[in-house]
Structure 1
Amino acid sequence: MPTYGDLVTNGSFSDGTTGWWSGSADMVTIVAGPAGLEATASTDAANLWDAVFGQDGISLREGCRYTLSFTARASQEGAVMAAKVGLGAEPWTAAVEKQMRLSAVDTAFVFTFTSPMSATGQISFQLGQASAVTIYLTEVRLTCSTVREGFYTDPDSNAQKWMNAHPDDEGTPKIRRAIASRPGARWFGDWTKDIRADLDAYVTVAATLGQMPIITLYNMFNRDVGGQSSGGAASPDTYRAWIDAAVVGIGDRPALVVLEPDSLAQLGNLASDTARTERLSLVAYAARALAALPATTVYLDGGNATWIRPPETAARLASAGVEHARGFAVNVANFDAIAVCCTYAHQITAELARLGVRGRGFVIDTSRNGNGALDELGQHVDWCNPGGRRLGVPSSIGVAGADYLLWIKTPGDSDGQCGVAAGTPAGTFSPYLAERLIDGW
Structure 2
Amino acid sequence: MRLLSTKAARAVALAAVLAAAPLSLTPPATASTTTASTTTAASAVAAAQLIANGTFTGSTAPWATIGQTALSAESDRMRAEVTAVVANPWDAMVAAPTTAALIPGRSYTLSFDAYSTVAFTARTTVQYAATPSGNQSLAADVPLTTASRRHSIPFTAAAASDTAAEVTFQLGGSGARPVVRFDNVSLMETQATRPSDLYVSPLSNPARWAAQHSGTTTGQAIMSGIGSKPIFEWFGGWFGDLTLAVDAYVGAAQAQDRLPMLVAYNIPNRDACAGHSGGGAGDAAGYHAWITEFARAIGNRHAVVVLEPDGVAAAGCVTQIGKDPEDQYRMLLDATQVLRAQAPNAWVYLDAGNATWIPAAQMAPLLVKSGVAGTRGFSVNVSNYLTTADSETYAAAVKGLLQGSVGAKTYVIDTSRNGNGPYTDDTPGDNWCNPPGRKLGTPPQRQTTGAEYLFWVKVPGDSDGPCGIAGSTPAGEFSPDLAMALINGNP
Q: Which TM-score bucket, shorter chain as reference?
A: 0.5 to 0.7
Structure with greater Cα Rg: 1
2:418 maps to 1:418: no
2:54 aligns with none
Q: How big is each residue's C-alpha offset from its partner over 1:2-57, in whole Å with a ceiling of 9 and x where there is no partner?
A: xxxxxxxxxxxxxxxxxxxxxxxxxxxxxxxxxxxxxxxxxxxxxxxxxxxxxxxx
1:267 aligns with 315
2:326 maps to 1:277: yes
1:368 aligns with 417
- 4+ residue runs over 4 A deviation: 117-121, 374-377
CA contact (8 A) 2:264 2:306 kept: yes
Q: Which amino acid aligns with 1:173?
A: Q
2:92 aligns with none
More relative contact order, 1 or 2 (CA 8 Å, 6+ apart)? 2
2:319 maps to 1:319: no
2:229 aligns with 182
1:17-28 to 2 correspondence within 5 Å? none
Match of 2:355 among 271, 285, 305: 305
SS at match of 2:324: helix
CA contact (8 A) 1:396 1:406 kept: yes
Q: How big is each residue's C-alpha offset from its partner over 1:297-337, in whole Å with a ceiling of 9 and x where there is no partner?
A: 10000000011100111111000000000000000001111
TM-score, scaled to structure 2: 0.59
Kindly state the Cα deviation for residue 147 of structure 1 after the two structures are TM-superposed. 4.8
Kindly state the Cα deviation for residue 411 of structure 1 after the two structures are TM-superposed. 0.4
For residues 216 and 101 of structure 2, the distance between their equivalents in structure 1, rounded to whole angstroms, comes to: 42
Q: How many residues align?
A: 308
1:335 aligns with 385
Unaligned runs of 5+ in 1: 1-58, 65-116, 122-142
Q: How big is each residue's C-alpha offset from its partner over 1:385-416, in whole Å with a ceiling of 9 and x where there is no partner?
A: 11111111111112542111111000000111
CA contact (8 A) 2:423 2:436 kept: no
Q: How big is each residue's C-alpha offset from its partner over 1:343-363, in whole Å with a ceiling of 9 and x where there is no partner?
A: 000110122124x12211000
For residues 361 and 204 of structure 1, the distance between their equivalents in structure 2, rounded to whole angstroms, comes to: 26
For residues 400 and 172 of structure 1, the distance between their equivalents in structure 2, rounded to whole angstroms, comes to: 35
2:246 aligns with 199
* Cα distance change on mapping 1:120 and 1:171 into 2, 3 Å: same
* Cα distance change on mapping 1:119 and 1:248 into 2, 3 Å: closer
Kindly state the Cα deviation for residue 120 of structure 1 after the two structures are TM-superposed. 6.1
CA contact (8 A) 1:375 1:388 kept: no
1:102-113 to 2 correspondence within 5 Å? none
SS at match of 2:347: strand
* Cα distance change on mapping 1:165 and 1:186 into 2, 3 Å: same
* Cα distance change on mapping 1:373 and 1:311 into 2, 3 Å: same
CA contact (8 A) 1:62 1:118 kept: no
Q: Which amino acid aligns with 2:253?
A: A
2:481 maps to 1:432: yes
For residues 301 and 188 of structure 1, the distance between their equivalents in structure 2, rounded to whole angstroms, comes to: 15
CA contact (8 A) 2:340 2:375 kept: yes
Q: How big is each residue's C-alpha offset from its partner over 1:195-233, in whole Å with a ceiling of 9 and x where there is no partner?
A: 122111111111111110110010111111261101111
For residues 375 and 269 of structure 1, the distance between their equivalents in structure 2, rounded to whole angstroms, comes to: 23
Q: Which amino acid aligns with 1:218?
A: Y
* Cα distance change on mapping 1:164 and 1:227 into 2, 3 Å: same
For residues 166 and 144 of structure 1, the distance between their equivalents in structure 2, rounded to whole angstroms, comes to: 39
CA contact (8 A) 1:222 1:230 kept: yes
For residues 297 and 476 of structure 2, the distance between their equivalents in structure 1, rounded to whole angstroms, comes to: 23
Q: Which amino acid aligns with 1:236?
A: A
* Cα distance change on mapping 1:384 and 1:145 into 2, 3 Å: farther
For residues 439 and 368 of structure 1, the distance between their equivalents in structure 2, rounded to whole angstroms, comes to: 12
* Cα distance change on mapping 1:242 and 1:119 into 2, 3 Å: closer
Kindly state the Cα deviation for residue 427 of structure 1 after the two structures are TM-superposed. 0.4
For residues 196 and 316 of structure 1, the distance between their equivalents in structure 2, rounded to whole angstroms, comes to: 30
2:235 maps to 1:249: no
For residues 235 and 178 of structure 1, the distance between their equivalents in structure 2, rounded to whole angstroms, comes to: 39
Q: Which amino acid aligns with 2:340?
A: A
Q: Which amino acid aligns with 1:62?
A: A
Q: Which amino acid aligns with 1:317?
A: L
1:390 aligns with 439
Kindly state the Cα deviation for residue 166 of structure 1 after the two structures are TM-superposed. 3.3
RMSD: 2.7
For residues 234 and 268 of structure 2, the distance between their equivalents in structure 1, rounded to whole angstroms, comes to: 16
Identity %: 40
CA contact (8 A) 2:211 2:219 kept: no
SS at match of 1:271: helix
Match of 1:230 among 278, 287, 295: 278
CA contact (8 A) 1:416 1:424 kept: yes
1:131 aligns with none
* Cα distance change on mapping 1:171 and 1:61 into 2, 3 Å: closer
2:259 aligns with 212
2:451 aligns with 402
Kindly state the Cα deviation for residue 170 of structure 1 after the two structures are TM-superposed. 3.2
1:57-136 to 2 correspondence within 5 Å? 61-62=47-48
CA contact (8 A) 1:369 1:390 kept: yes
Kindly state the Cα deviation for residue 165 of structure 1 after the two structures are TM-superposed. 3.9
* Cα distance change on mapping 1:376 and 1:398 into 2, 3 Å: farther
Unaligned runs of 5+ in 2: 1-44, 51-99, 105-190
* Cα distance change on mapping 1:393 and 1:144 into 2, 3 Å: farther
CA contact (8 A) 1:291 1:297 kept: no
Mean Cα deviation higher: 318-327 or 291-300: 291-300
Q: Which amino acid aligns with 1:171?
A: T
SS at match of 1:402: coil
SS at match of 1:341: helix
* Cα distance change on mapping 1:390 and 1:147 into 2, 3 Å: farther
Match of 1:239 among 265, 284, 287: 287
Mean Cα deviation higher: 402-411 or 386-395: 386-395
Mean Cα deviation higher: 297-306 or 168-177: 168-177
For residues 322 and 386 of structure 1, the distance between their equivalents in structure 2, rounded to whole angstroms, comes to: 32
2:209 maps to 1:170: no
SS at match of 2:406: coil
CA contact (8 A) 1:338 1:364 kept: yes
For residues 366 and 372 of structure 2, the distance between their equivalents in structure 1, rounded to whole angstroms, comes to: 9
Instruction: Kindly indicate which of the two structures has a greater share of residues assigned to strand.
Output: 1
For residues 365 and 337 of structure 2, the distance between their equivalents in structure 1, rounded to whole angstroms, comes to: 17
Q: Which amino acid aligns with 1:160?
A: A
Q: Which amino acid aligns with 1:153?
A: V
